[in-house]
Amino acid sequence: MTILVTGGAGYIGSHTVAELLHRGEEVVVVDSLNSGHKAAVSRGTFYKGDLRDREFLEGVFKKHDIEAVIHFAARSLVGESVQIPLAYYDNNLLASHHLVSAMLDHGVQKIVFSSTAAVYGKPKQIPIREEDPTVPTHPYGETKLAMEKMFRWCEQAYGLKSVSLRYFNAAGAHPEGEIGEDHHPETHLIPIILQVALGQRDLIGIFGDDYPTEDGTCIRDYIHVMDLARAHWLALEFLRKHQQSGVFNLGNGRGFSVKQVIETAREVTGHPIPTEVRPRRAGDPAVLVASSEKAQRVLGWKSQYHDLKTVIKSAWQWHQAYPRGYADK
Ligand SMILES: NC(=O)c1ccc[n+]([C@@H]2O[C@H](COP(=O)([O-])OP(=O)(O)OC[C@H]3O[C@@H](n4cnc5c(N)ncnc54)[C@H](O)[C@@H]3O)[C@@H](O)[C@H]2O)c1
Ligand SMILES: O=c1ccn([C@@H]2O[C@H](COP(=O)(O)OP(=O)(O)O[C@H]3O[C@H](CO)[C@@H](O)[C@H](O)[C@H]3O)[C@@H](O)[C@H]2O)c(=O)[nH]1
């Protein structure tokens, strides 16, 4: 039987596809290539298409004996979601609605879902635990939370089993160096810093240095993309074994400020990486750090890349080999 991976040509999706294939799973990828890259999926069956195209989706479900779905496909930029919220309701909620309808029509009852730390909004306590209040501060987080809820209601009504993985900040690249992070435009901190080190940008803008943190810059929990990839396989195994739904945080449990990330990148790259302080970015909470105790206890997951330097080194290896990302492949 086959695992359908939506958004499998994207950053986290492509690393998960590589992990699933490594584990001997059969994989079918569906991706619109809106932000992903065909070259990121070198093995497995690939279909270019949009989840909102019901006829297209129907064709994929008819052609393959699908056991479960891993659902990455989404728009996922915090700032953009504030500017064009309807695009987020359309591409995230409507697309997921089509996907779940097709799944249920074809008797597919298991889904692993890319949720996010953004569902918590401004956390009341650190580290954040799964039972903490979920009060998103932007449409991106709002649509992800709505999808989690949609899965829960579908469990009650139709028996759908879901695992929602709330990831914190994904970073790094595959250890074999053939796939990595390549977004256009790039908005994420670590790849932008590495573009400065490559000479593609003059400096990195720091979005606010007046947060209530030790050095005034935002603190995030950076988790290696291969640790995330392995968690998806474990979530699939959890669904197979227990026929039970669940929600899990995935982070390293350690927070690093924007300034600390820049300093570590200077050590890794040997580049001075000039900075400029800019205004705060709308919707950014000061600190997001996960407790992943539940994922460790229930899924048997453990982060293998806890050191920020190792995470940045692995991203740097990819950016050095492919300075223009997949355009160089
Ligand atoms: N990158 C992070 O730090 C992070 C953190 C938390 C959660 N997430 C979530 O993880 C998932 C993957 O993130 P990413 O950074 O790999 O993003 P990405 O943009 O690299 O990947 C998303 C993929 O989905 C595809 N896609 C989007 N809409 C589609 C549609 N309607 N039909 C078919 N394909 C579609 C895109 O072409 C792309 O390949 C997203 O759901 C995101 O919300 C990411
Ligand atoms: O040029 C930049 C880019 C980012 N930042 C800061 O760096 C931190 C990390 O930002 P970024 O890499 O853009 O990630 P987030 O906005 O934290 O969002 C990521 O992590 C979230 C979970 O925490 C996911 O939901 C999102 O999909 C994913 O993009 C934030 O404090 C930003 O303000 C800067 O100071 N300068």
Q: What is the pLDDT of residues 272-306, one digit of tens each?
A: 999 999 999 988 899 999 999 999 999 999 999 98
CA–CA separation, 27 vs 318, rounded Å? 24
Is residue 329 scored above 80 in pLDDT? no
Residue range(s) occupied by CATH 3.90.25.10 in the chain: 189-220+253-321
The Å distance, Cα 50 to ligand 1 centre, comes to: 13
pLDDT band per the 50, 70, 90 thresholds, residue 253: very high
The confidence band for 40, taking pLDDT boundaries of 50, 70 and 90, is: very high
Closest by Cα among 84, 82, 53 to 141: 82
Is the Cβ–Cβ distance between 277 and 194 less than 8 Å? no
Q: Is residue 37 pLDDT above 90, yes or no? A: yes
CATH entry, 2-170+224-250, from 3.40.50.720, 1.10.3720.10, 3.20.20.140, 3.40.50.2000: 3.40.50.720
Dist. CA 192–CA 202, nearest whole Å: 10
Atom of ligand 1 nearest to the CA of 73: 24
User: Ligand 2 site: residues with CB under 6 angstroms?
Assistant: 76, 78, 116-118, 168-169, 187-189, 192, 204-207, 218, 220, 258, 281, 284, 288
Q: What single-letter DSSP state applies at residue 279?
A: P
Task: Give the residue-averaged pLDDT of 231-235.
Answer: 98
The residue whose C-alpha atom lies closest to atom 9 belonging to ligand 1 is 114
d(Cα 133, Cα 143) in Å, to the nearest integer? 16
Nearest Cα to 140, choosing from 85, 65, 218?
85
Rounded to the nearest integer, the mean pLDDT of the chain is 97
Which atom of ligand 1 is nearest to 12's Cα?
16
Ligand number nearest CA of 231 is: 1
Instruction: Note the ipTM here.
Output: 0.98
- Predicted local distance difference test score (pLDDT) of residue 282: 83
Q: Does the structural domain 189-220+253-321 have CATH classification 1.10.3720.10? A: no
Rounded average pLDDT over 257-267: 98
Confidence check: pLDDT of 89 > 90? yes
Q: Is 158 a catalytic residue?
A: no
CATH 3.40.50.720 residue ranges of the chain are 2-170+224-250
| pLDDT value of position 79 | 86
- Closest residue CA from atom 23 of ligand 1: 7
Assess whether pLDDT exceeds 90 at residue 197.
yes
